[in-house]
Homo-oligomer: A and B are copies of this chain.
Amino acid sequence: MANKATIQDIARAAGVSNQTVSRVLNNRPDVADATRQRVTDVIQQMGYRPSDMARGLRNKNTRTIGLIIPDSANPFFAEIAKGVETGCFDRGYGVILCNSAKVLERELIYLDLLQSKGADGIIFIATSTHIDHLYPLVESGVPVALFYRDAGNLNVDTFKIDNFQAGYMATTHLLELGHTRIACIRPSSDETPSGRRVDGHLHALEQAGIPADMALMPRGDNLIEGGEAATAALLASGDSFSAIFAANDAMAIGAMRSLRDSGRRVPDDVSVIGVDDIMLAKYVEPPLTTIAQPKQEAGLRAIEYLIERVEERYTGGPRETLLPIYLVERRSCAPYREEA
């Protein structure tokens, strides 16, 4: 239980003042080489680490950033989190992991905790579109980076993907494959950002001169089970279709499962496309064709911007970055064939 050495201990052992040790610690030029060497040796030998806590108290920073995320065990968010962690590591920052579990109260509690811990900045991947609770924080001067949400009139950097474009790209891919009867598994609410994916889908259809058919547009709960249920309903209704666009990969995977259970083959009988490129997408059978977005890179970019603000290398207004998206062709989509 030997208590950790302090700067005083080092000073005493090296026969200098604590101030001199501090200078060595911070690589100040105004220290005699001999002294510096001696101090360095003592530090080494005693395994001394300066206390970030004491430093922070003086300097008003903690070199710690908070990451508020719905669920770090969800592969999609896990990838973003990893990018954030990597970016922080490279800059000597620590990351406090906060799972909101999509519960507003947890977000609030974590926001408090991060404020108490003096987090230098916060990456926020919101649960809802409601971000009012960020106001006090942002106004107290804590830099924030916000994912997939509008910043309102807050001075924060946002990171989004063009959801409309994602839906448009996915549907266009199906169209180019010759499909015309395309079902669409919608998210539980059109108000969510991924609701815009459906708008993109509709736009692609319209542009191709294909009328939208509400009978082909069931809603899912954004999870695998929801995609499964929605597809089962679709199948039960008897309406014909040769392809499914699901508003996210989880529902697409559920759709494939439902299709298989009913004896349909993917992609021979029905093509399926999703959006997100979650980790599972690559491993399901057949591997899922989808619209991908760079997740780790997004985390990296967010940290870059955030720390620019933390270190006051950037002091301007809100910045919005649109993350690139791209089609990943795997094996769940095939050209339209008559008998389907």
Which residues of chain B have C-beta atoms less than 8 A from A115's C-beta?
A: 4, 49
- Is A253 among interface residues, defined by CB-CB distance under 8 A? yes
In the assembled complex, the Cα of A49 lies from the Cα of B54 at a distance in Å of 18
| 25 residue pairs A–B, Cβ–Cβ below 8 Å | A1-B140, A4-B115, A4-B140, A47-B140, A49-B115, A49-B116, A51-B118, A53-B57, A53-B118, A57-B57, A64-B96, A72-B72, A72-B82, A72-B85, A72-B97, A73-B82, A75-B279, A78-B78, A85-B98, A85-B99, A89-B98, A89-B99, A95-B97, A283-B284, A284-B285
How many chain A residues touch B (CB < 8 A): the figure is 56
Which residues of chain B have C-beta atoms less than 8 A from A79's C-beta?
A: 73
Which residues of chain B have C-beta atoms less than 8 A from A112's C-beta?
A: 49
> In A102-159, which residues have CB < 8 Å from any B CB?
106, 109-110, 112-118, 136, 139-141
In the assembled complex, the Cα of A117 lies from the Cα of B64 at a distance in Å of 9
**Copy number in this complex?**
2
Q: Name which residue of chain B comes closest to A60, CB basis.
A: B3
Which residues of chain B have C-beta atoms less than 8 A from A15's C-beta?
A: none
Q: Closest CB-CB distance, A115 to chain B, in whole Å?
A: 5
Question: Would B118 and A106 count as touching, CB distance under 8 A?
Answer: no
Quick one: which of A78, A97, A109, A136 has the most chain B CB within 10 A?
Answer: A97
- Is A56 among interface residues, defined by CB-CB distance under 8 A? yes
Q: Closest CB-CB distance, A135 to chain B, in whole Å?
A: 10
Question: Would A71 and B75 count as touching, CB distance under 8 A?
Answer: no
Contact of A118 among B52, B89, B141 (CB under 8 A): B52
Question: Would B99 and A51 count as touching, CB distance under 8 A?
Answer: no
